[in-house]
Structure 1
Amino acid sequence: MKYSGFLALTMLSFILTIEAHAQERFRKGYIITRSNDTIFGYLQYRGSKTSSQICHFRRSDDHPVQKFNPHEISGYRFEEGKYFISRKITDHGEPVERFLEFLIKGKASVYFLESGDASRYFLETERDGLIELSEPEKIIHNDSGTYYNIPKYKGKLLYMLADCPGIRDDIIQTPLRPKPMIKLANKYHDLVCTDEACTVFERRYKKLKLQPSVYAGYGMKKLKFGSGLISEYTPVMNAGAALQIQNLFPNSENITLETCLQISRLNQTTLKSQNHNISEIIILGNKWYYVNNREAYYVSDNYIKVFSVNPDLKLTSIQTPVLIKYNIKSSRLQYGFGLGPMFTFNVTENKDIDYKLFADRFGRNIPGTLFGGIGNVNITFRTGPKSSIQFNCNYLLDFLAGDVNKAYRFSSQTFQANLRYNFYW
């Protein structure tokens, strides 16, 4: 089945993710108890949505993991900067407690919450308390028609920061995003806090990292020439280089973007006919073969009926996959999986082979440009302070896009195993 490889990789990814979550790395930090005591230890880093609902903490590697809800502790903070504090808010009309992330703390404190529906922002001042700036998008229906409501956060900002007229123009120009809100609150604080000590808190974003690697491997490839010929799974060699981009998504540090440049080589294979009524004509050297499922006999070099042929395709392909990968790292191991699109460029093939159906249509046996996708699962072993070895299992599917005649819908699928050396950990 064409998509069985994607299904198998998806199932394997799910199993690895469950196992890897249990070994996800803890980072230095502390919790703040309801009595304002600070307890140092290690906090488990998770996605923004999960971080707002529960805190996983342990005092050391020898201690068990403790789970704290927002009503059990006042907050928690990672040593690297992220800081969450327990506050009461309204969610779908009901009062709840959540861990809100501090973007900046001062005369006007800004908080952030990643909910299932959208990103939510809150502003707190001594006079007005905690007020939500963001609001869910609403469609309003009345006798005049249907329209979207206008966001009201700028009006709320103008009211809450009215004691500082000098930033009115800044408020009008500030979008509801983390960095602009931090900049606005910081400017407000500097203007109104002139005769007292103050502390401004900002969360720190990690810089983008470009991390290269090289790899080589072995695979099994199957070709399908529309409704005509089809190959058996055939050994294929591949090698390439990859570049991984980390910290591309500040709120999801486990997600990375990876692009690769890969070259593969497919040689001798076995081709059979998919059609029970028509022979497929393929010329090898000076001999004409009629590949069919009914009979095999020799009349002359211009008419040889066979059940299959074994040509040396000498097919060289360059592939450029781009993957979105999810990685979970422990002290010496990393698990991951990814999916993404891929372009394939078939640059060389055996000129002594002529598959009439395709050669007459495309001027070559295998179309030059194909589109497809790739699925990946991997496990990485740390080998040094800045290096690692990675084992990859890939499933690649590519096809000829845009041809409405199914007789010419070329496709291929490949199962691939690679060993990779990463110049990073």
Structure 2
Amino acid sequence: MGKQIFSILFFVLLVSHSFSQSNYKDGYIITLDQDTITGLVDFRTDQTNARLCRFKRTEHAAEEIYHPGEIAGYRFIREGKYYVTKQVKIDNEYQTFFLEFLIQGLKNLYYLPLDNGYFYFEGQDGMLVGVTKQPDQITENYKVREDNRYKGVMSYLFQDCLPLSMQTARVGFDKGSMIVFTKKYHDQMCDTGEECIIFENDYKRKFIKFDYTLFAGVELNDVKLVYTYFPSMLSISPVIGAGLNISSPRLIKSLYLNIETSLSAVSGVSDYIDDYLRYYRYNFNAGKIGFGAGLEYIYNKGRFRPAAGAGISLHKLFNLTDTLKINDQVSSHLPLFRTSTTGLKAELGFDYQTSKNQFVIVRLAFSAHRKTSVESSNIRLKLGYKF
């Protein structure tokens, strides 16, 4: 019980630490005097970005925290996301947020990720008009009632462009649809030929990050036929494999979902003499395909980054040959891994950063499996490259 409690507490602390990790990207802040200060800005979720800005002038400088109204705005250079201080009216109350600046043109478009979301249109007079959408409701007749009032507001706002004003019924309540519609308005109404500026980047793709791993190594297998007197069988085999590492840097930078597959081999020879002096000898060999999935924590600072993970493991043998001899006479086969086996795995190791998004990885992994009459475990040492 004590070990279980310790494990739970350790996991909670690990996840809590992961949530507190920063995700600094190249960017700049804009002061209230419209001065630009370049540095690093913490790239978090849309909800967090709307309420505060964490900024560092250099990688090792002290962190500065700004709230809406304390700076005019901030921007991420590569990610393209741009936030500006704006005061908006929500439920008859004025509040100040960092609105995400989506498009700059004859009508500016902003987004606030509050509740179901708010889009704000700003005309040449500088007045902000917001639209939102209430969640869909299920009526007594089990029909979906959708809140489309925002379309009527947009029809009024864009009435100076009648063809577009009549198309608001087809505008979806999402960033992509709003950006496309606002850009069409600018393209049709701008008589100088000047193009509007779209700040919104492919944020969905950047919210989820994919890394790929290729590795090779060696593994030690230990196989035990449970309901027999045969001793455990040890074998060493080379192993190769590939992995996919999925993370969300804006949410939990140091926590990864790892999925991997590998190819190796397993074999063994075991013998014993029973009480009647009969000599038993069993041998087998097979190829092995491995699959694994689990969570891994990797420290996200410096070149040398310790890592620890755990998850599930699945093994499937192929081209299996096995022989049982009694006094040198071939007897019936014993059941070995005739089907897939699942188990648990744990890993320790480190990543060594060679360039911005490339790492040499070293892992020591342990897994254990049980299938009816067979127990197996293996220790695997992996050396690979993550990119």
Q: Which amino acid aligns with 2:131?
A: E
Counterpart residue number, 2:351: 380
* Aligned match for 1:150, one of 142, 146, 150: 146
- For 2:103 and 2:169, locate their aligned partners in 1 and report how far apart those are by CA, in whole Å: 20
- Give secondary structure in 2 for the equivalent of 1:352: strand
Note the 1:170-249 alignment, pairs <5 A.
171-195=168-192, 199-205=196-202, 211=212, 213-218=214-219, 237=237, 239-242=239-242, 244=244
- For 1:420 and 1:13, locate their aligned partners in 2 and report how far apart those are by CA, in whole Å: 29
Q: Is the 8 A contact 2:284 2:323 kept in 1?
A: no
* Aligned match for 1:63, one of 61, 64, 71: 61
Q: Quickly say closer, same or farther: Cα 1:167–1:338, change in 2 above 3 A.
A: farther
- For 1:53 and 1:394, locate their aligned partners in 2 and report how far apart those are by CA, in whole Å: 42
Deviation at 1:67, TM superposition (A): 1.1
Note the 1:114-153 alignment, pairs <5 A.
114=113, 120-126=117-123, 129-135=128-134, 137-139=135-137, 144=140, 148-152=144-148, 153=150
- Give secondary structure in 1 for the equivalent of 2:17: helix
Q: Is the 8 A contact 2:225 2:232 kept in 1?
A: no
Q: Which amino acid aligns with 2:188?
A: L
Q: Quickly say closer, same or farther: Cα 1:413–1:106, change in 2 above 3 A.
A: farther
Counterpart residue number, 1:261: 261
Q: Quickly say closer, same or farther: Cα 1:85–1:386, change in 2 above 3 A.
A: closer
Query: TM-score, length-normalised on structure 1?
Result: 0.65
CA displacement 1:291-342 (0-9 Å, x = unmatched): xxxxxx613639x9xxxxx955534310234668776744535566777776
Counterpart residue number, 2:285: 314
Counterpart residue number, 1:111: 110
Note the 1:4-83 alignment, pairs <5 A.
11=10, 15=14, 18=17, 24=22, 26-61=24-59, 63-80=61-78, 81-83=80-82
Q: Is the 8 A contact 1:9 1:395 kept in 2?
A: no
Deviation at 1:234, TM superposition (A): 6.3
Deviation at 1:84, TM superposition (A): 1.5
Number of residue equivalences: 370
Q: Is the 8 A contact 1:13 1:336 kept in 2?
A: no
- For 1:95 and 1:240, locate their aligned partners in 2 and report how far apart those are by CA, in whole Å: 60
Q: Is the 8 A contact 2:316 2:337 kept in 1?
A: no
Q: Which amino acid aligns with 1:150?
A: E
Q: Is the 8 A contact 1:391 1:419 kept in 2?
A: yes
Q: Quickly say closer, same or farther: Cα 1:20–1:330, change in 2 above 3 A.
A: farther
Q: Quickly say closer, same or farther: Cα 1:327–1:104, change in 2 above 3 A.
A: farther
Q: Quickly say closer, same or farther: Cα 1:8–1:112, change in 2 above 3 A.
A: farther
Deviation at 1:364, TM superposition (A): 4.6
Note the 1:398-409 alignment, pairs <5 A.
408=372
- For 2:292 and 2:70, locate their aligned partners in 1 and report how far apart those are by CA, in whole Å: 46
Deviation at 1:77, TM superposition (A): 0.6
- Give secondary structure in 1 for the equivalent of 2:275: strand
- For 2:176 and 2:85, locate their aligned partners in 1 and report how far apart those are by CA, in whole Å: 22
Q: Is the 8 A contact 1:215 1:421 kept in 2?
A: no
In structure 1, list runs of 5 or more residues that go unmatched.
270-283, 290-296, 305-309, 355-359, 401-407
Q: Quickly say closer, same or farther: Cα 1:146–1:215, change in 2 above 3 A.
A: same
Q: Quickly say closer, same or farther: Cα 1:316–1:71, change in 2 above 3 A.
A: same
* Aligned match for 1:301, one of 243, 254, 278: 278
- For 1:90 and 1:224, locate their aligned partners in 2 and report how far apart those are by CA, in whole Å: 72
Deviation at 1:242, TM superposition (A): 2.0
Deviation at 1:351, TM superposition (A): 1.4
Q: Quickly say closer, same or farther: Cα 1:59–1:192, change in 2 above 3 A.
A: same
In structure 2, list runs of 5 or more residues that go unmatched.
326-331
Q: Is the 8 A contact 1:182 1:202 kept in 2?
A: no
Q: Which amino acid aligns with 1:241?
A: G
Q: Which amino acid aligns with 1:193?
A: C
CA displacement 1:338-367 (0-9 Å, x = unmatched): 77776532114341159xxxxx9x995213
Larger relative contact order (CA 8 Å, sep ≥ 6): 1
- Give secondary structure in 2 for the equivalent of 1:30: strand
Q: Relative to structure 2, which stretch is displaced further, 166-175 or 185-194?
A: 166-175
- Give secondary structure in 1 for the equivalent of 2:102: strand
Q: Quickly say closer, same or farther: Cα 1:62–1:106, change in 2 above 3 A.
A: same
Q: Relative to structure 2, which stretch is displaced further, 170-179 or 54-63?
A: 170-179
- For 2:233 and 2:95, locate their aligned partners in 1 and report how far apart those are by CA, in whole Å: 57
Counterpart residue number, 2:160: 163
CA displacement 1:253-291 (0-9 Å, x = unmatched): 95877653302333449xxxxxxxxxxxxxx88x9x9xx
- For 2:169 and 2:369, locate their aligned partners in 1 and report how far apart those are by CA, in whole Å: 49
Deviation at 1:195, TM superposition (A): 3.8
CA displacement 1:240-261 (0-9 Å, x = unmatched): 2325478x97976958776533
Q: Quickly say closer, same or farther: Cα 1:146–1:16, change in 2 above 3 A.
A: closer
Q: Is the 8 A contact 2:19 2:252 kept in 1?
A: no
CA displacement 1:39-77 (0-9 Å, x = unmatched): 222212233333233211122245311111224222211
Query: TM-score, length-normalised on structure 2?
Result: 0.70
Counterpart residue number, 2:385: 421
- Give secondary structure in 1 for the equivalent of 2:119: strand
